[in-house]
């Protein structure tokens, strides 16, 4: 019924929701890796003025998953979206300038775009989902320039924003960037065991340690162990190949550890 409804809206000329329906049809087919159909409907949506469709079209030609990688086309699609003030498209263009993908690598252009996006998304609730990624890229600029005072303040805020985002939507990239942010933050300020949450304990887990916490009136234990290939993590009777994998895959019952983060209390190092 879902698909039929969107197919109807997407093909009915003159309807206000036509472009939006075409965009979500593209999302639907992208989710099933039918990138030919995703491209078809995103092109229709873009032609009907649904600006977000340009980001999907750029992604098709930018990411490995679609098997259609063509950075020239990706840049062209992102540029069309950027001209219409799509922030995600601007962000992806900045990354292409950073990495020299189709365009010549240009650190100054990358910095210019990221600073613009940071100022647009900072303290703007409308863009709360994009802000952590943009602020993390901005933090890398500050780090390269040795602006430690600004970095300390930004890292402190960014940890909170990443945690809020991950509770809503858990991505590998977001987990990686959060853990990097935590590690870099505690290179600038002293670590306080009394202020730990389920994420900041990752700083302690870089070396062998046992940590206890309480959830739903029951105690749980995390143990990090120095293995020949690096740190591995035990949580209950399950083992994880890295601290990152722990945050990606650990569960209590059927719920991910990240979705329960706000309700985890009494975190302490026990050995």
Average pLDDT, the chain: 91
Give the C-alpha separation, 95 to 111, whole Å: 10
Query: Which residues are CB-contacts of 68 (< 8 A; sequence separation ≥ 6)?
Result: 35, 60, 61
- Tens of pLDDT, residue by residue over 187-215, are 999 999 999 999 999 999 999 999 999 99
Q: Please, what sign has the CA dihedral across residues 71, 73, 74, 75?
A: positive
Give the C-alpha separation, 164 to 157, whole Å: 11
Give the C-alpha separation, 83 to 203, whole Å: 41
CB contact at 8 A, 183 and 203: yes
- Tens of pLDDT, residue by residue over 147-183, are 999 999 999 999 999 999 998 887 889 999 999 999 9
Residue 46 has pLDDT above 70, yes or no: yes
Instruction: Please report the pLDDT score of residue 11 as a whole number.
Output: 52
The average pLDDT across 216-237 equals 94
Please provide residue 117's backbone torsions phi and psi, each rounded to the nearest 5 degrees: -65, -40
CB contact at 8 A, 147 and 137: no
What confidence category does residue 66 fall into, taking pLDDT thresholds of 50, 70 and 90?
low
Domain edges within the chain: 194-269
Instruction: Please report the pLDDT score of residue 247 as a whole number.
Output: 95
Instruction: Please report the pLDDT score of residue 8 as a whole number.
Output: 44
Q: Name which of 2-16, 60-74, 176-190 the model is least confident about.
A: 2-16
The average pLDDT across 112-134 equals 95
What confidence category does residue 15 fall into, taking pLDDT thresholds of 50, 70 and 90?
very low
Task: Give strand pairing partners of 164.
Answer: none
Give the C-alpha separation, 109 to 226, whole Å: 42
Give the C-alpha separation, 47 to 69, whole Å: 22
């Amino acid at each position: 019924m879902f698909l039929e409804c969107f197919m109807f809206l997407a093909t009915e000329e003159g309807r206000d929701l036509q472009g939006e329906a075409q965009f979500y049809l593209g999302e639907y087919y992208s989710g099933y890796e039918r990138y030919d159909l995703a491209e078809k409907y995103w092109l229709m949506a873009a032609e009907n003025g649904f600006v977000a469709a340009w980001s999907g079209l750029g992604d098709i030609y930018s990411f490995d998953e679609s098997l259609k990688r063509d950075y020239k086309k990706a840049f062209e699609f992102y540029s069309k979206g950027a001209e219409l003030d799509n922030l995600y498209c601007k962000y992806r263009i900045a990354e292409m300038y950073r990495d020299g993908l189709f365009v010549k690598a240009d650190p100054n252009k990358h910095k210019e775009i990221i600073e613009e996006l940071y100022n647009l998304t900072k303290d703007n609730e409308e863009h709360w989902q994009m802000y952590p990624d943009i602020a993390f890229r901005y933090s890398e600029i500050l780090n390269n320039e040795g602006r430690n005072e600004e970095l300390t303040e930004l890292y402190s805020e960014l940890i909170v924003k990443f945690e809020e985002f991950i509770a809503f939507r858990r991505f590998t990239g977001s987990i990686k960037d959060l853990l990097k942010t935590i590690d870099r933050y505690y290179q600038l300020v002293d670590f306080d065991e009394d202020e730990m949450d389920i994420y900041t304990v990752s700083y302690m887990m870089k070396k062998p340690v046992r940590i206890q916490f309480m959830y739903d009136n029951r105690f749980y234990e995390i143990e990090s162990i120095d293995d020949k290939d690096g740190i591995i993590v035990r949580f209950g009777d399950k083992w994880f190949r890295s601290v990152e994998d722990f945050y990606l895959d650990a569960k209590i019952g059927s719920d991910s550890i990240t979705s329960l983060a706000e309700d985890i209390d009494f975190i302490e190092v026990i050995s």
